[in-house]
Structure 1
Amino acid sequence: MLRIFLIMSYILVISVITFLISSLFTYLNTGADRSKILHLEVKKEVQYLPKLTWAENGNEGREMDDQVLNSIENDYLDAWYVKNVAFRNNDITGIEDFYTESARVNLYDNIDKNKLDSLTIESTTFKHKPDILFFSEDGQLIVLEDKKVIEYKKFYKKDELVFETTEENSYKVILLLEDGFWRIRHMVKQSSKPVTPIMKNVPMNFTMKGINYYPKDTPWDMFGDDFKLRTIKKDFKIIRKAGLNSIRIFIPYEDFGSAVVLPEKLEKLRKVLDAAEKNELKVVVTLFDFYGNYDILDWTLNQRHLETIVNTFKDHNAILAWDLKNEPNLDFDQRGKENVISWLEQMLILVKSIDKNHAVTVGWSNTESAHILSDQLDFVSFHYYEDKANFEDDYLVLKKQIPNKELVLGEFGISSYSGLWKPFIGSPEKQATYHQEMQKVLNKNNISFLSWTLYDFESVPSEVVGKLPWRVNPQKEFGFIDIKGNKKPSFKHISK
């Protein structure tokens, strides 16, 4: 036992010594981390993507390659982003990485003054058109002129909005290369003027008789891994044969890649639109599904997402309209009504600047919010899940309030569920009666409609209605076709 103990002790001591020597050897043969020397660890994920277009008229001084130009672009935009964050939070974090010591003085003074005045500024930029005027021979200094910078700003005094503006500004900027960063040495505003976008209305010369659509087996995940085009084509034939002429589909923001839209998702969407066109169905495309941030610092990311999708499909024959957001008024309490409406306005401006031929709307969750932005939207879309007996009166009130825009009933329906959580309330027969009576009112007033929805679903994601069973279970049975594929009595009244 003593020999065994001595041998094990010897092995343990030798192992520890060997480990220490190897650790020391590894340390002595490892150079400094280049990323830390150059402060590359502070580089963030894609977070700020205003539309930037470089002038192509050359520059005085040293010739510039693409790698240097990309480095300048990244650091220059990061400097704008860091400044926006600093004035929003009145915090100097990150400023020293993108501004030289002399340039920081003014920034720090302004931040200190804002703190004293209880003033905060939320801002972002939408467009930059920089022109490099000079690149020094040693590659350490750049002079550029950033023309027609579109800036959006909100000024808050003690958390209360006091001023909001969109401006077109021009700047002259000097950048120095320090420790691997292109830092701003000097920035001077040369000109400034307010911007008032001009948006033309696109008339809706189409009466919708349609339905909100998800495949039966992939509700709220239409473009996911279980995407089945054959199923979708079959469903479109059912919809068209039932006498409907349009569908409303949903584009989930995160699933499509957020700011950098995934090509495979665009291809799936193209296949869906092609199938709709083949079946003579027009499509209302609802954007930004499952998105609910509205933060100004995210706006450029949102715009790149929207820009990619709208640019890709603006000429597709199946497109009827763009729906900017599904029920954004439900986010008023949590995200702030002013923030949500400002976000919608900016997305509306961008869509209309890209696609001048298709109508744009917002899918409000009720008639009470439907007047918001009605003068800027091409038609007003609202949802109605209240008592059907009040629908016509509520519609006529809204029509009187908004006389010059077409009103579209973007969602309506009733669940056939009758079970433990809501006994004796719903049934397939009651659902059929509901749709029969709603169709009478719709036909009487010639109202465009998109009902909810083609199928019953076996499951509903918690993100949609939460996890409470008395909310989840009724949501599963709004369809005209049950989970076994059988048409319910309400199917007779799906279009008339």
Structure 2
Amino acid sequence: MVGLNKNILRTILIISYIMIVALIISGISGLFSYLNTGADRSSMLHTEIQKVEQYAPKLIWEPLKNEGRPMDNENLNALQNDYLDAWYVKQVAYKTNKTAGIKDYYTDSARENLYAFIALNKTENTTIEATTLSHNPTLEFFSEDGQLAVVTDRDVVEYKRVFKAEQLVLETTETSTYKMVFLLEDGFWRIRHLVKESSKPYLPETAKIKTDSLIIKGINYYPKATPWNMFGDAFAKDTIANDFKIIKNAGLNSVRIFVQYDDFGKANVNPKKLEKLKQTLDAAEENGLKVVITLFDFYGDYSIMNWTLNQRHAETIVSTFKDHNALIAWDIKNEPNLDFDSRGKDMVIAWLDNMIDLVKSIDKVHPVTIGWSNTQSAPILKDKVDIVSFHYYEGLSELDEAIKTMKKEIPNKPLVLQEFGMSSYNGFWKPLGSNVEDQANYHKKIQEIIAANKLQFMSWTLYDFVDVPKAVVGSRPWRRNTQKHFGFIDKNGVKKASFKYITN
């Protein structure tokens, strides 16, 4: 019995020894791993402000001719990433009046001023919503030991909204120049010193775009089988080209198509989607049609912190297709006024205003418009757009007067009735709806009004649709079925009575 107890005790001691050694080895391994992963900032931050494609202003470095040590691309990219992160966390801090993340991008001395400013704003119940839209940095100096860099950032375009007790008190767009000193600490570039050297109101470039020869007689287009999913897996250029041939033979000269922000990849536009859009424009050109491209369809987040991502999306599409022969105009956003109540009218208009500036800075030839959902909103930003576009689904008896009112308020811009139409659905879910004869009479009458007022137009739409996504009109069957029957051609490919009045 004594020998047995000794064996049990010996076994326990051996097992304990092994466990202690394992724990020591594990601890040393973890410490070694931690010391060798200093470049992974996400494991160091104890904040929720880790940058994951949240901030992407346009940034163009001046050619490197700095004093001191030459800087390689790896170091330059690291400096750039930390610099933009520093802007991002500062803007989040100014919006929330919280200091989370500041210490990760600013040294002790630099963050004191930021903390004091945030504390003052919090005391005075002031918040700032801001973003930078473009940067033009120059590397002035890079130290021989690789630990210090001096940068001048010129023509930084900053948009700001200042709120006092949640009331907007200031809205401004400025162009500023900043001088900064960076220190390399723990493998990351932190701002040691930052001075705003100059600032002035931002004045965007304005180019006079000719619209005298612009005559739009067109239609809004989706393929019959894939409405609101034109560039999805079922994309077929042959189908689109055949539809474009029908449109051209009907006497129309243009189509309006839609680019959805999420579908195209947001800030990082999907090259496959760009190729499908190119094929669509090619098909239009082959059939003698012009194209209005509507950007940001089904997008409703106008928050300032997302502006740089939105602008990179638009920049990619506009720069890719601005020279395509089929392009006739850019439509910034489809029916943005429907977001006024939920997102704030001032915020929506500010987003549109800045997006117009971006598009015009890239494409100085093609006109820009906004697809307002009604005549009342049409005068908004009338001095910024080149064409005033409006939609109309109300009673025709009021249309003529509404046009006359718009012409008084907007005397020097072309007017385009960009969407109009009537459903021919009067089935089970809407027994008192309109029929195909009502639809034909509607189009006959509205084309008479269009001709009398010398309006340009784009009707809704070529086909009755096989299905309408619930995301478009909801799940209520009377709404979905009504939306399916706006076409001039039914789902079997037969022209309806309204097709006779597809143009005047």
Whether 1:152 and 2:153 are equivalent positions in the alignment is no
Task: Output the CA distance in 1 between the equivalents of 2:274 and 2:19.
Answer: 55
Shift of 1:92: 0.7
**Which of 438, 452, 459 is residue 451 of structure 1 equivalent to?**
459
Distance 1:318 1:23, change over 3 A: farther
Equivalence for 1:13: none
| Alignment coverage as a number of residue pairs | 481
Residues 314-362 of structure 1 deviation map (CA, whole Å, 9 limit, x = unaligned): 1111111000000000000011000000000001111111111111000
Residues 184-207 of structure 1 deviation map (CA, whole Å, 9 limit, x = unaligned): 111011111112224234232222
What amino acid is aligned across from residue 207 of structure 2 in structure 1? Answer: K
What amino acid is aligned across from residue 441 of structure 1 in structure 2? Answer: I
Q: Is the 8 A contact 1:38 1:180 kept in 2?
A: no
Q: Is the 8 A contact 2:205 2:361 kept in 1?
A: no
Shift of 1:465: 1.6
Task: Output the CA distance in 1 between the equivalents of 2:54 and 2:114.
Answer: 22
Task: Output the CA distance in 2 between the equivalents of 1:358 and 1:141.
Answer: 46
Q: Is the 8 A contact 1:211 1:454 kept in 2?
A: yes
Shift of 1:463: 2.5
Shift of 1:23: 8.2
Shift of 1:138: 1.8
Whether 1:344 and 2:352 are equivalent positions in the alignment is yes
**Which of 434, 458, 461 is residue 442 of structure 2 equivalent to?**
434
Identity %: 58
Matched residue SS, 1:463: helix
Matched residue SS, 1:32: helix
**Which of 98, 103, 128 is residue 121 of structure 1 equivalent to?**
128
Equivalence for 1:191: 198
Whether 1:71 and 2:78 are equivalent positions in the alignment is yes
Equivalence for 2:150: 143
TM-score (structure 2 length as normaliser): 0.92
1:304-343 counterparts in 2 under 5 A?
Answer: 304-343=312-351
Whether 1:411 and 2:419 are equivalent positions in the alignment is yes
* Structure 2 spans left out of the alignment, 5+ residues: 1-14
Equivalence for 1:421: 429
**Which of 273, 285, 289 is residue 281 of structure 1 equivalent to?**
289
Equivalence for 1:398: 406
Whether 1:262 and 2:270 are equivalent positions in the alignment is yes
Q: Is the 8 A contact 2:38 2:186 kept in 1?
A: no
Task: Output the CA distance in 2 between the equivalents of 1:203 and 1:53.
Answer: 31
Q: Is the 8 A contact 2:38 2:187 kept in 1?
A: no
Whether 1:167 and 2:174 are equivalent positions in the alignment is yes
Matched residue SS, 2:355: helix
Shift of 1:250: 0.4
Shift of 1:29: 4.7
What amino acid is aligned across from residue 140 of structure 1 in structure 2? Answer: Q
Task: Output the CA distance in 1 between the equivalents of 2:40 and 2:242.
Answer: 57
* Structure 1 spans left out of the alignment, 5+ residues: 1-15
Task: Output the CA distance in 2 between the equivalents of 1:190 and 1:345.
Answer: 27
Shift of 1:161: 1.1
Task: Output the CA distance in 2 between the equivalents of 1:27 and 1:146.
Answer: 45
Greater CA drift, 448-457 or 48-57: 48-57
How large is the RMSD of aligned CA atoms in angstroms?
Answer: 2.0
What amino acid is aligned across from residue 403 of structure 2 in structure 1? Answer: Y
Shift of 1:106: 0.5
Task: Output the CA distance in 2 between the equivalents of 1:417 and 1:35.
Answer: 64
Task: Output the CA distance in 2 between the equivalents of 1:272 and 1:433.
Answer: 32
Distance 1:37 1:357, change over 3 A: closer
Whether 1:96 and 2:98 are equivalent positions in the alignment is no
TM-score (structure 1 length as normaliser): 0.93
Shift of 1:484: 1.6
Residues 77-134 of structure 1 deviation map (CA, whole Å, 9 limit, x = unaligned): 0100111111011111111111111111100100010011111111111111111111
